[in-house]
């Protein structure tokens, strides 16, 4: 019975890694659509969310069934609880990619600002790197790597603040104001996405140490 | 409260203090060891058992957990060749000290066994037998009723107290054995696998009862069923068989709050056992 149980745990964890691959594809699609002003690609990202949702749901059901039948304890219990959280974070991250794609479509007729697009691309690239670090930390039970996400997140936060300053310099024309509004929300989505990755890192540390703790205070005074 | 286990039966203290929040140590166990002839059953056990808590003892077969709780009320005295070393203090009194009456120890520290073992007598006689033996003869019917009520059995048997105890179901028989232990007004109840011979519904009744009883008593339960320990116990002690230096002996590996044992145990051996990766 315990052998089956271990196989089930392994299968669920593998599904979680697959889900993170789907989120990475979604994020890459959203970033490319944004850079290329590609409305069709943006639509594909929006439609792709169904696949992430399906993966989210089957993981949720798999965990529910495992809890009902196997009553995991200790490290197994912590893994199951961590997977529940990580699953939800990944699903939310994919939703943020959808929001970015919807905003991309809304801004499609507006003249993009090269520096702003570069900053968003930088934030997205850092978020992708963070997802890889977090999921590898989970797979390898590496608390140090999980904690390093805080520093990576700080770079995303800084880029977000830089972008806000840049938007304020865009000028007062109606198009620029609308463009500024759209990109600020996109930037906010990327910043939130990175925060979700930090939360995944917290779950990795909980899994390894049994200690539930936030890496950084959400009400940090520097955060805009 | 200090309980004088050396006092003659007639002078024992019958009143118990009401439930208090402050931690009070009932058993202070220091370097406890048990051997049967050349065989070491237990080695170097140090732990404190607190009042009004359910303390579970878990571990694989042969790890000495039954031997351990049988030390607490000197039940091992009845096995020939047993040598107990170390100190076992009950409210500061050495249970194995000279002048201690083992009968009085067992009155204050009652025991319930794996298989319900009622006497082939009436329900009433099962509960009143020890009372008469110990000379607690005043208000016998009242004592019997109180014990049966505390064991959550009264409503089921009040109209047939004269019937044979053997006519009861297994779960009822076990609650009768608990009533029998409660009748002599102990402070501690030791339960050695009390539900392992019972169906799930009777098991749930015993577990609910334990929850009730800990308001007035201190309970120590040995169980093979880890989920039962997780459900009923405030603190859990994990015993394991240690095979080092060519000697096999039961040792206490980890003792902590039950939630800690079942979420993030400190010792890898505990982790392996509770997650089922042991043996």
0.90 surpassed by complex ipTM: no
Average pLDDT, chain B: 90
Nearest to B271 among A1, A74, A209 (CB): A74
Could you tell me if A89 and A199 are in contact, meaning their C-beta atoms sit under 8 angstroms apart? yes
Mutate to test the interface with A, among B266, B272, B275 (most CBs of A within 10 A): B275
d(CA A150, CA A107): 31
**CB–CB of A134/A146 below 8 Å?**
yes
> Does the pLDDT at position B65 exceed 90?
yes
Contact (CB, 8 A) for B116 and B197: yes
Q: Is B15 a residue whose pLDDT tops 70?
A: no
For helices A114-140 and A174-209, the axis angle rounded to 10 degrees is: 10
The distance in angstroms from the start CA to the end CA of chain B is 43
**How many angstroms separate the CA of residue B261 from the nearest CA in chain A?**
7
8 Å CB contact of A2 and B230: no
Q: For all residues of chain A together, what is the average pLDDT?
A: 94
Section B167-187 average pLDDT: 95
Percentage of residues of chain B with pLDDT beyond 90 = 78
Q: What pLDDT, on the 0 to 100 scale, is given for residue A218?
A: 54
Give the mean pLDDT of A151-160: 97
What's the pTM? 0.81
Residue with tokens 């249970």: B95
**A183 phi and psi angles, rounded to 5 deg:** -70, -25
Distance, CA of B142 to CA of A20 (rounded, Å): 68
A2 touches chain B (CB under 8 A): yes
For the segment A52-68, what is each residue's pLDDT rounded down to a tens digit? 999 999 999 999 999 98
Optimal mutation site among A66, A71, A73, A212, interface B, most CBs of chain B within 10 A: A73
Question: What is the distance between the alpha carbons of residues A187 and A192, in angstroms, rounded to a whole number?
Answer: 9
What residues form DSSP beta bridges with B57?
Answer: B222, B237
pLDDT of residue B1: 44
- Closest chain B CA to residue A6: B277
Q: What is the pLDDT of residues B82-111, one digit of tens each?
A: 999 999 999 999 999 999 999 999 999 999
**Cα–Cα distance for residue pair A100/A48, rounded to 1 Å:** 13
Pick A78's closest partner by Cβ from B227, B230, B264. Answer: B264
Residues 53-92 of chain A whose Cβ lies under 8 A from any Cβ of chain B: 71-78
Dump pLDDT digits (tens) for B201-245.
889 989 999 999 999 999 999 998 899 999 999 999 999 999 887
Rounded to whole angstroms, the Cα distance separating B148 from B133 reads 18
Rounded CA-CA distance A119/B45 in Å is 63
The B residues from 221 to 260 touching A (CB cutoff 8 Å) are 226-227, 230
Residues of A in contact with B264 (CB under 8 A): 74-75, 78, 209-211
User: Greater confidence, A71 or A142?
Assistant: A142
pLDDT tens-place string over residues B129-138: 999 998 998 9
pLDDT of the residue at B12: 42
């Amino acid at each position: 019975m315990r052998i089956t149980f271990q196989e089930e745990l392994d299968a669920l964890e593998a599904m979680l890694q697959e889900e993170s691959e789907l989120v990475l594809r979604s994020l890459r699609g959203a970033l490319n659509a944004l850079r290329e002003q590609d409305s069709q690609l943006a639509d594909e990202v929006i439609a792709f969310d169904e696949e992430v949702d399906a993966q989210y749901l089957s993981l949720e059901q798999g965990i529910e069934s495992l809890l009902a039948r196997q009553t995991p304890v200790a490290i197994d219990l912590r893994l199951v609880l961590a997977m529940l959280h990580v699953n939800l974070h990944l699903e939310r991250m994919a939703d943020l990619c959808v929001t970015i794609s919807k905003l991309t479509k809304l801004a499609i007729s507006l003249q993009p600002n090269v520096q702003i697009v570069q900053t968003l691309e930088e934030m997205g690239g850092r978020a992708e790197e963070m997802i890889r670090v977090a999921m590898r930390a989970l797979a390898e039970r590496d608390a140090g790597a999980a904690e390093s996400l805080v520093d990576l997140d700080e770079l995303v936060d800084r880029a977000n603040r830089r972008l806000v300053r840049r938007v304020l310099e865009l000028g007062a024309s109606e198009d620029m104001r609308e463009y500024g509004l759209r990109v600020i929300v996109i930037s906010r989505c990327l910043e939130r996405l990175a925060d979700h990755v930090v939360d995944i890192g917290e779950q990795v540390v909980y899994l390894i140490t049994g200690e539930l703790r936030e890496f950084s205070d959400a009400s940090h005074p520097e955060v805009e | 409260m200090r309980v004088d286990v050396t006092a003659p039966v007639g002078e024992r203290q019958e009143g118990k203090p009401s439930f208090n929040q402050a931690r009070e140590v009932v058993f202070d166990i220091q370097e406890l060891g048990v051997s049967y002839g050349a065989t070491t059953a237990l080695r170097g056990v140090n732990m404190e058992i607190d009042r009004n808590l359910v303390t579970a003892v878990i571990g694989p077969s042969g790890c000495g957990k039954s031997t351990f709780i049988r030390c607490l009320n000197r039940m091992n005295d009845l096995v020939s060749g047993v040598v107990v070393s170390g100190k076992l203090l009950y409210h500061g009194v050495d249970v194995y000290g000279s002048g201690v009456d083992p009968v009085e120890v067992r009155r204050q520290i009652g025991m319930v066994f794996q298989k319900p073992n009622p006497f082939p007598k009436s329900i009433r006689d099962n509960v009143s037998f020890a009372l008469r033996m110990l000379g607690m003869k005043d208000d016998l019917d009242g004592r019997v009723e109180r014990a049966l009520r505390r064991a959550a059995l009264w409503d089921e048997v009040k109209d047939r107290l004269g019937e044979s105890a053997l006519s009861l179901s297994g779960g009822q028989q076990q609650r009768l054995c608990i009533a029998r232990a409660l009748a002599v007004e102990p402070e501690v109840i030791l339960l050695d696998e009390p539900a392992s011979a019972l169906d799930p519904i009777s098991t749930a009744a015993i577990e609910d009862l334990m929850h009730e009883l800990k308001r007035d008593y201190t309970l120590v339960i040995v169980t093979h069923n880890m989920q039962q320990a997780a459900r009923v116990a405030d603190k859990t002690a994990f015993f394991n068989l240690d095979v080092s230096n060519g000697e096999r002996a039961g040792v206490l590996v980890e003792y902590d709050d039950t939630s800690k044992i079942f979420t993030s145990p400190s010792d890898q051996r505990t982790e392996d056992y509770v997650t089922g990766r042991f043996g």
